[in-house]
Amino acid sequence: MTDNKSYDEQLKRIMNHLADSVLEVSDEEILAETLGNGADPQEEAERTRTVLRRPSRVLESANKSLRSLGHTVNPKSWKHRQRNYHNNCRDCGLSVSFTVAGLIWGDALRGPCPKSDWYTVREKESTGQ
């Protein structure tokens, strides 16, 4: 367990250094390298945008699913775990997790929030009571 934690911390540190080094490269240097490799800069830019947008879309989907069931989560409480992100409903405490690849799961997605007034009102409205 300690070896895994140490490895994860080392990997995180390396990834942060790589991200920092990418941020230090000028647009001209990136363009020159892309053209030097024979790649189309527009295609590379679009591919990069797609990769970066995916996690945002998955997060949006998870939040939409939770809202539809009356669950609410603190958007600042998403916790990164080894291979996923995790949060809990503010009202009932049920969990939800997702991966950037698009998998979403958790007890909060199994049904309506038992502590949410919002869902109870919506249910009454739909039954005409």
Q: Which of 12, 44, 13 is nearest to 31 (CA)?
A: 44
Q: Which of 121, 10, 117, 102 is nearest to 71 (CA)?
A: 117
The confidence score (pLDDT) of residue 38 equals: 93
pTM for this model (two decimals): 0.61
Q: Please, are residues 66 and 57 in contact by the beta-carbon 8 Å criterion?
A: no
pLDDT band at 127 (very low <50, low <70, confident <90, very high): low
Domain limits of the chain? Answer: 58-129
Question: Higher confidence at residue 93 or residue 128?
Answer: 93
Q: Is the pLDDT of residue 123 over 70?
A: no
For 68-101, the pLDDT digits (tens) are: 999 999 988 999 888 899 999 999 999 999 998 8
